[in-house]
Structure 1
Amino acid sequence: MKLTPSDFGGSVPVDGYGPGFFRVGGKVVQGAVLVTAAGAEPWGGLDDRAALTALAGRVDVLFIGMGADVAHAPADLVASLQAVGVAVEAMASPTAARTYNVTLSEGRRVACALLPL
């Protein structure tokens, strides 16, 4: 699915997604992806906590896309991110991508970690 463009002030939005991939800033990333205003990189999924805690001081909110369905992020992951000052919101990946884009367009310090559909 293609997402509606907006003004991102030079930041990198999620452009679209489909089965097993995300398109971020015009580039396709297969599998799970971590997206910040600076760009996208492959992400090792929920067990790749170092990549998420490294966001401390750079983002205020991390949207975690849990795949096709709404699910809770592991409580210990949420606690470790909150301990370093990163608020966490878990939702389905399509919703996380759209929410990331909206808050990014508002100039907020956000990131999203998306599990594939």
Structure 2
Amino acid sequence: MRLNEITFTDAKPVEGYGPGFFRIGGEVIEGGVLTGPASTGPWGGFEDVDALLALSGVVDVLFVGTGAEIAHIPASLREQLDSAGIGVEVMSSPSAARTYNVLLSEGRRVALAMLPV
């Protein structure tokens, strides 16, 4: 039997974070961040809905990191993501980063939007 490594995405794992920043793929991003199969870049927070809706059909689940502590996302945001067929898991940003990295390493179709700690 021949085994081949399959890569489903060019997404990069979260390498680190600190007060007000994230490091992903060797790049430091100040403030909120959105990363997934296609790219990594700044995220404007819960009001930046269009960037999240663009993930429809591209990812199966979006992890939303709400900062140092877990918090609810706005109900309207959750409804829009649900309507677009994007599964949403909300947790603290450190937990979201760890979970994203694990599922990314398994080749899963995931994205991550985080607010800084």
Same fold (TM over 0.5): yes
For normalisation by structure 1, the TM-score amounts to 0.89
Among the aligned pairs, what percent are the same residue? 60
Give yes or no for contact 1:13–1:37 (8 Å, CA) kept in 2. Answer: no
Give yes or no for contact 1:67–1:93 (8 Å, CA) kept in 2. Answer: yes
Unpaired runs of at least 5, structure 1:
1-7
Give yes or no for contact 2:65–2:92 (8 Å, CA) kept in 1. Answer: yes
Moved over 2 A (4+): 8-11
CA distance in 2, matches of 1:59, 1:9: 11
For normalisation by structure 2, the TM-score amounts to 0.89
Q: Does 1:110 align with 2:110?
A: yes
Unpaired runs of at least 5, structure 2:
1-7
Letter in 1 for 2:52: L
The alpha-carbon deviation at position 40 of structure 1 amounts to: 1.0
Give the greater-gyration-radius structure (CA).
2
Superposed CA offset, 1:46-105 (max 9, x none): 100000001001111000000000111111111100111100011000000111101111
Give matches, 1:1-117, under 5 Å: 10-117=10-117
Question: How many residues align structurally?
Answer: 111
The alpha-carbon deviation at position 38 of structure 1 amounts to: 3.2
Q: Secondary structure at the match of 1:28?
A: strand
Taking only aligned residues, the RMSD between alpha carbons, in angstroms, comes to 1.6
